[in-house]
Amino acid sequence: MLFKKNYLPIGSVVGVKDDSRRLLIIGRQVFSGSNRVVRDYAALEYPNGFIDAEDTFILFDRSDIEVVYHYGYVDEVEVELDKRLHEVDEKGAGKEDDE
């Protein structure tokens, strides 16, 4: 069964513009304290993953994705979470338009 999704699932591996690394998505809707913005995705380098407590996450948005190498696992729980994330997105976009 195919689902319409707004976000790639955790475990997806992507390539982003102007970056030769493959990135493993480990989080969505992540707040960047340094830039004070919410980014669509948090990732680590693939295939290394998390190897050191000093590792930093690579944050990026959907618009930065150039290629999807692997699409992560999707079940009904993932689909429900995707709907909720999209609803939050829509509410946030509405607030920006009102300001």
Domain count, the chain: 1
Residue 99 included in any domain: no
Q: What is the pLDDT at residue 96? A: 45
The per-residue pLDDT for range 23-82, each reduced to its tens digit, is: 999 999 999 888 899 999 999 999 998 899 888 899 999 999 999 999 999 999 999 999
pTM of the model: 0.82
The Cα 30–Cα 23 span in angstroms is 15
* 47 belongs to a structural domain: yes
User: Does some domain include residue 31?
Assistant: yes
Q: Of 40, 1, 49, which Cα lies nearest the Cα of 21? A: 49
**Which band of pLDDT confidence, cut at 50, 70 and 90, is reported for residue 1?**
very low
The answer to whether residue 85 sits within a structural domain is no
DSSP 42: E
Phi-psi region of 49 (alpha: psi -120 to 50; beta: other; left: phi over 0): left
